[in-house]
Every structure is written in C-alpha cells, then in structure tokens.
C-alpha cells in the first residue's frame, strides 16, 4: 500500500515550505515534491507605482538579502535612465553586495546548516540548532555570529542601516564614502578573513566524513548558470551570463543579461507558488539548471583573489573531473565565496578612488524597459521592468535566485528520499536529511514566492491513492 509523508514546516530555511514524499506499494519513494505555499504578488502590486520606488519596494521581498534586490532593482532603473553610473558608485555597490554575501552565507552555513554538520542528522531535534552548536562548539558558533555581524556592519556603514538601506539609488548611490567609514570597514576585514579561513580549514576536515551525503544530497547532472566577468572569472555584481553543462562544456557564454529571456523560460506547476525556470533550448523540464555558489564556482575560471583561488583549486578536487555535481558542496562553495568576498572588499576599499565624490548620475527615464541582473548570495537575480512615458510601472518580472534552483531542489529531495527514507519505518532523522538537502541550496522562499502569509514546513507520506499515511510537522 502506498502512502505520502509530509514534512511541514521545513526548518532552518528562509521562508516556509512543505515537502511531500509519495511512497509506492513497497514503501519506496516514488515521487517527491517541494511545495511553496505562500503567495505574495509583488509583480502585480508594483504596477502603477513610480519606478524610483522599485528598489525599496522590491527589497521588501526579503529581510535576509534585501541588498540583492536593491542592487538588481537599481540596475534595472539605471537601464531605464540609460546612464552609465560613476565608477566609484559601482565599486561602492560592489562592496555592499559582497558584505551581503558574507552575512548571508554566514547565516546559511553557521546558523542554519552547521547544526546538521556538527551535531549529526539524527541528533535530538530539540538541540539541533544554533544553540546546540553553541554548547558543543562555542568558538565556531561565536565565529559564525561574528562573521555575519561583520557583513551586516559593513552594510550599515555604507547604507545607514543593516536591513533595507536606501543608499543605493538609480544612477549610483546617494552619498559618497568618507575616509572614516572606509577605515572602519577595513579594520573589520582582517578578523573576518581570519574567521573565514579557520572555518574553511575546519570544514575541509569534515568533508570526507560526508561522503555518503555528497553522493545522495542532490548529486545531479544539471546545467549551471551564473554571471562571470568578461575574463571568465567569479562575478557577483555585473558581468555576463555563462551556462555550462554537467560535463563542464560551455553552452552559452558572454551573453548580456538583457538577453535572459532567450535563455530562460518559466514554467508553473499547480503544487507550488514558486516558478520553475528552465533553460529554453532544452525545454521543460529537461532544461534543469542550478545557480548560486556551486554554479558560480563551477562556471568561473578563477576567483581573482589569492586565498580564494587556493580554496577554489581545492574545491575542484572534491570530484575527480568535471564540475562539482553534488549540491551538498554548496556549503563548501559558500565558504570559498566568503573568503573571496572579504579579500575583494579589502581590494576595493584600498583603492583611493573609492572616496571619490562623484557617485551619482542624474537623469530621468529615457527608455521604457529596463533589466537588472546581479548575483544574490543564492544565485542570479533578475529584475525586469516596463514603464510608461511618465515613469509608472506597467509590467514587472522577477526571477529570484531560489526559483532557478526549483527543479534541482525537487530532484534533490527525491534523490535523498530514495536513499534514506524507509516507508516502513519513518524516522525523524531520515526526514531531517530531506530537509537538509533543501538547506544546501539555502533557499529564500519568501523571495521566491512573491507571497504573503504563513507557510510552515511539513512532510506528507501518501499512498498511491493519495491517502496521507504519515505527516511530520514542525513549527
């Protein structure tokens, strides 16, 4: 007799989700689905509003990665203005984006995923959290919190507040950087880099222990999409789109982000409010691809900073050949990117031009369509606006980083459930592994859903007739 297991809510992720596992008559997993049950509607309710409100409005999709929306939105607005922003403004925006990368990756690795990695998938759920980590590994927990704080403090120094700063504006930023703030930021970086290196070195020693998880936590043959520099290096703020296949062959390269619609199609499924983007030439759902730290490192030739490049070389050895295919290694990639971000921030802030007072280009809207693309911590973020001649929004499309990974997340929970979930004897630890594979992607569901309301996570186990046999609910 088949049945369905429901995991609800999925914990230690940003936003709310539900997972359902469909079991066959033999009690084996026959299907797995990741449901996003929120609906937010940003793409609709922004219509009619002035485009200059979009950076602040769309940043409200998220409290974790508002800087990403702020940047992608302002880039779309820059496009509407048809201006090139001052070089210093671009550098300042880059610093803020990298600071956000540090704080968001630190949150994902230390606060959300380290409980699984350090305390074990089957440990007591009551203490399998950041507080449990504090008890067992106090220094690591302290380091994680401090690293996140450093990222947040840099955002605050630049933008005036940690969450939802409004300092980035269409045309640049609204205030130049002072030498005092620059020095204060530079003073934070050595400590951050030290923590990042130590955490990376520690995690490297753990990776061999997770050989099994690496095999089953979303070890998929998918494409990888990310931005890269014109030289093919790691890029987070600007750049061009590269798509590689599971063997590392480049399918699309140096594609201007404004042509994203040629590459990316968007499908919808009735079981989730999250869109299912796919690579158009391969069709749906064959055009499955992944974005985010794993994709960025797989696509980049190099990072361009000394220690991160060493770490990248070590990252590539996780697999004998080809791009790293297991989503479990998103964690590893995140730590490499934290190192890169701290090194790159130092480089940008050491440049004397960072204090230049010309930081804003002023113009009114000069065209009716604008596209802004940036790399959010979780992957490529696309904002696409159309406005009327008076500057009021007539149409909007957002493709959120987490959304790109939707097909891959569904494939990953199926893979991990097939490996670990025994329908005859459902244990909490099994279901935690199903949740943990989702955490590898660090999904931000409140962003991806354009939704409002509550969506706790639940796993349902159903029989072939759809009858719910077991439900595990959290939250």
Positions touching other proteins (CB under 8 A) are 48-50, 52-53, 55-57, 60, 164, 166, 169-170, 174, 362, 364, 390-392
CB of 387 to other proteins, least distance (A): 10
d(CA 220, CA 289): 10
C-beta of 146 vs 164, nearer to other proteins: 164
C-beta of 53 vs 156, nearer to other proteins: 53
C-beta of 7 vs 169, nearer to other proteins: 169
C-beta of 365 vs 405, nearer to other proteins: 365
Alpha-carbon dihedral angle through residues 167, 169, 173, 175, given to the nearest 10 degrees: -50
CB of 75 to other proteins, least distance (A): 14
C-beta of 162 vs 331, nearer to other proteins: 162
CB of 419 to other proteins, least distance (A): 45
CB of 284 to other proteins, least distance (A): 34
CB of 101 to other proteins, least distance (A): 23
Answer whether 272's CB lies under 8 Å from 35's CB: yes
Spatial CA neighbour of 405 closest among 454, 453, 440:
440
CB of 392 to other proteins, least distance (A): 6
C-beta of 46 vs 195, nearer to other proteins: 46
Neighbours of 193 (CB within 10 A): 20
């Amino acid at each position: 007799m088949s049945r369905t297991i429901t995991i609800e809510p999925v914990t230690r992720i940003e936003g709310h989700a539900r997972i359902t596992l469909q079991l066959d008559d033999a009690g084996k997993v026959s299907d797995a689905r990741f449901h996003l049950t929120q609906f937010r509607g940003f793409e609709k309710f922004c219509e009619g509003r002035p485009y200059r409100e979009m950076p602040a409005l769309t940043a409200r999709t998220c409290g974790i990665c508002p800087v990403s929306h702020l940047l992608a939105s302002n880039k779309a607005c820059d496009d509407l203005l048809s201006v090139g922003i001052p070089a210093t403004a671009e550098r300042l925006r880059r610093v803020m984006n990298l600071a956000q990368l540090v704080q968001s990756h630190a949150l994902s690795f230390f606060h959300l995923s380290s409980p699984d990695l350090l305390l074990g998938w089957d440990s007591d759920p009551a203490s399998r959290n950041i507080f449990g980590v504090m008890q067992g590994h106090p220094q690591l927990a302290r380091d994680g919190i401090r690293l996140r704080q450093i990222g947040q403090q840099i955002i605050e120094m630049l933008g005036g507040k940690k969450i939802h700063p409004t300092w980035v504006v269409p045309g640049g930023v609204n205030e130049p950087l002072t030498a005092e703030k620059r020095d204060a930021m530079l003073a934070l970086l050595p400590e951050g880099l030290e923590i990042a290196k130590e955490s990376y070195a520690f995690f490297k020693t753990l990776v061999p222990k997770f050989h099994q998880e690496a095999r089953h936590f979303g070890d998929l043959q998918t494409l990888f999409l990310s931005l890269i520099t014109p030289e093919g290096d790691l890029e987070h703020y600007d750049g061009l789109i590269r798509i590689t296949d599971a063997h590392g062959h480049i399918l699309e390269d140096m594609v201007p982000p404004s042509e994203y619609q040629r590459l990316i199609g968007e499908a919808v499924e009735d079981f989730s409010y999250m869109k299912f983007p796919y690579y158009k030439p391969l069709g749906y759902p064959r055009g499955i691809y992944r974005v985010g730290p794993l994709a960025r490192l797989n696509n980049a030739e190099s990072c361009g900073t000394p220690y991160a490049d060493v770490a990248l070389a070590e990252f590539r050895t996780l697999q004998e050949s080809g791009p790293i295919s297991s989503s479990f290694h998103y964690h590893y990639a995140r730590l490499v990117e934290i190192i890169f971000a701290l090194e790159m921030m130092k480089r940008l802030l050491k440049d004397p031009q960072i204090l230049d007072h010309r930081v804003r280009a002023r113009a009114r809207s000069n065209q009716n369509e604008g596209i802004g693309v940036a790399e959010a911590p979780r992957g490529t973020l696309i904002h696409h606006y159309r406005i009327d001649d008076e500057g009021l929004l007539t149409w909007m499309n957002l493709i959120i980083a987490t959304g790109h990974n939707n097909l891959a997340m569904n494939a990953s929970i199926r893979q991990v459930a097939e490996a670990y979930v025994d329908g005859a004897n459902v244990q909490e630890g099994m279901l935690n592994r199903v949740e943990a594979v989702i955490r590898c992607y660090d999904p931000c569901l409140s962003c991806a859903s354009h939704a409002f309301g509550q969506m706790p996570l639940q796993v349902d186990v159903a029989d072939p007739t759809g009858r719910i046999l077991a439900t595990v609910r959290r939250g």
